Amino acid sequence: MNAFQALGLNEQLVQAVTDLGFETPSAIQEKAIPILLSGTTDFVGLAQTGTGKTAAFGLPLLQLMDETQRHPQALIVCPTRELCLQITNDLETYKKHSKGIYTEAVYGGASIMMQIRNLKKGVQIVVATPGRLIDLIERKAIDLQKVKYVVLDEADEMLNMGFRDDIDFVLKNTINRESTWLFSATMPPEVRAISRNYMENPKEITVGKKNTANVNIDHQFYVAAAPHRYETLKRLVDFNPGMYGIIFTRTKADAQEIAERLVKEGYDIEALHGDLTQQQRDKVMGRFRQKSIQLLIATDVAARGIDVDGITHVINFELPDDMEVYTHRSGRTARAGKSGICISICHSKETYKIKQLERMTNAQFHKLDIPSGKDVCRKQFFHFMDKLMQADMSHGDYETYLPDLVKKFEGITKEEVLQRVAALEFSHFLKYYENAEDLNRSDFRNDRKDRKDNVKGNFGEGRPAGQYSSRGDNGFTRLFINLGTKDGFYKASFLQFILDESNLKKEVLGKIDMRKMNSWVEIDKAESARMINAIDGKRYNNRVVRMNEADGGFKRPSDEGRKRTYGPPRERKSFR
Ligand code: AMP
């Protein structure tokens, strides 16, 4: 008998998880599913994200639904829109062989009217963020009278985010519920209070140790002086060429500023924070999920609940103040049994915090030396050579060129070819790191006028050109646009807007100067016409957007030419 079947799940659900490639139930699934299938037991599951808890409650919930009744029977409340969509997506895949069950995700930042319309069609499972749910309850747009099951997912996160009253309100408005299931990574007193006040003899299951970080995470830390923090970050990214990771910062401003610097220096990174509109955040997440960007830099709030497969590294640009935040950050990697690395860049004065973290997570943290320039070059070099060796030659007519190539390389040794390839790929890179400073030194001079590696400082020389493009200002032209902060834009959202509209990459941009009514954008001369074509004449908030060359150099395209032509999707270089 299939292990999922043995837990009491029906054939359709077992088929769906088999389709997903789940072979054995995870610990939380094994323990929770039989209890939850009873439908009448209150339940507390202490489990982190990544343990398979969505299926642990999602599968029994789907099985308990009465498909003949088209009204909300189950309510799942979770802290963020991202998690809300993720849970809904997971439910969709789990129920793909089950007929007649409908789900709806309700969350802020999207049209409430659309959500109301969908709810009216009749759904059995509603997945909601607290704010939007309350809004719907107050508008009487959702009927919770017949809700039998309430799931509170990431309860500690919801309380951290200040949703305590909202949770009380929801629980008080679901008076006919037969059971309440609460999932939380940690059990602070506030979460305990919910279980005391609203649950009856809940069965409590803990997966792993309480407050314990995932054992598959290798916790590493690097001690860097404050002015070296940014350079250290770059070095660590360069030292891990296949990295697919999230960098955490404490503030939105840091996330944005570091992202801008790194983009300028040719890194494949985007920022995710609360100053972006929900739509922009979705787009960033979409690109990250599809691996068309290598790195995401995020604040804790924006990154809550993110479940992206295969994240290799989490980097704490600074250690978080709250030790529990560390567990949430590091939990973005090493999911579903995979291993991952959580790197923290910390100041020598913060090593006591590392000791606290070690105690809290019951894991050993490894202090490593910041790689030298040479280490980085060597690592990059062999990564490239590995890629060369693994190149897929199954497509393409390479043999046809072979005789000519053989002729061309006559008299050149294999060693020389390799050296030439290396020189082509790495000369700029090697030059950049040739005289790279030892960042482990504690006797650094932080008063150097030319130091450009502090986050708040000027943009540095950047990563070398070649595959890592960087550019002087002279290749730019300045564009004027009649949109500014009064239109509700922040720098990040504005940047995203013009890039999305023009389908251009951030790398083509230089300085952005935003004022209340207007802004100026520096752009690669070769791309300015494309941006103007895409944006000039477009409407934004019922106003015609004007964009033109600030210094009058760009000739307005003919009307024909001004018709927006969105090009094919931009090709991004793969970072793997
Ligand atoms: P969660 O803790 O619900 O966020 O799940 C983390 C990841 O584990 C998700 O990508 C799930 O698809 C995956 N997963 C859940 N249960 C299993 C299982 N039994 N076997 C393999 N992968 C699983």
Which residue is it, tokens 């202490």?
46
Per-residue tokens: 91? 């439910």
Lookup result for tokens 């030298």: 372
Please give the structure tokens belonging to residue 210. Answer: 């309480």
- Tell me how far apart the alpha carbons of residues 296 and 284 are, in angstroms, rounded to a whole number: 8
Q: Report the separation in Å between the CA atom of 43 and the middle of ligand 1, taken as the mean of its atom positions.
A: 20
Average pLDDT on 344-357 reads 87
Q: Pick the atom of ligand 1 nearest to 309's CA.
A: 10
Identical fold, 3-206 and 217-372: yes
Look at residue 442 in the predicted model and tell me its pLDDT. 56
**pLDDT band per the 50, 70, 90 thresholds, residue 393:** confident
| Ligand 1 center from residue 274 Cα (angstroms) | 27
Instruction: Give all strands of the β-sheet with 476-481 in edge-to-edge order.
Output: 509-514, 519-524, 476-481, 547-549
Q: For residue 441, what pLDDT is reported?
A: 64
Tens digits of per-residue pLDDT, 2-51? 999 999 999 999 999 999 999 899 999 999 999 999 999 999 999 877 78
Mean pLDDT, the chain, whole residue set: 83
CA atoms within 13 A on the CB side of 343: 27
Strand 43-46 vs strand 203-206: parallel, antiparallel, or unpaired?
A: parallel
Residue nearest to atom 11 of ligand 1 (CA): 52
> CB count, 10 Å around CB of 374?
12
Q: Is the CB of 93 under 6 A from ligand 1?
A: no
Q: Is the model's pLDDT at 209 over the cut of 80?
A: no
The per-residue pLDDT for range 110-162, each reduced to its tens digit, is: 889 999 999 999 999 999 999 899 999 989 999 999 999 999 999 988 887 77
Residues 60-100 have pLDDT tens digits of: 999 999 999 999 999 999 998 889 999 999 999 999 999 99
Query: Considering the entire predicted model, what is its pTM?
Result: 0.48
- Cβ of residue 4 lying under 6 Å from some atom of ligand 1: no
The residues that bridge with 181 in the sheet, in sequence order, are 43, 151
CB 155 within 8 A of CB 78: no
CA-wise closest residue to 481 among 557, 558, 534:
534
Q: What CATH number does domain 3-206 carry, 3.30.499.10, 3.30.420.40, 3.40.50.300, 1.20.120.1200?
A: 3.40.50.300
Sheet hosting strand 295-299, strand order edge to edge: 269-272, 295-299, 245-249, 313-316, 340-346, 217-223, 365-367
The CATH number of domain 217-372, selected from 3.40.50.970, 3.40.50.300, 3.30.413.10, 3.30.390.10? 3.40.50.300
Which listed CATH number (3.30.70.330, 3.10.310.30, 3.40.50.620, 3.30.70.20) goes with 463-559? 3.30.70.330
C-beta separation of 124 from 70 below 8 A: yes
CA–centroid distance, residue 92 to ligand 1 (Å): 14
Residue 517's pLDDT band (boundaries 50, 70, 90)? confident
CA 332, CA 285: separation in Å to the nearest integer?
Answer: 14
Q: Which atom of ligand 1 is nearest to the CA of 24?
A: 19
Whether residue 341 contacts residue 217, with contact meaning beta carbons closer than 8 Å, is answered with yes
Residue among 406, 247, 263, 377 at smallest CA distance from 320: 247
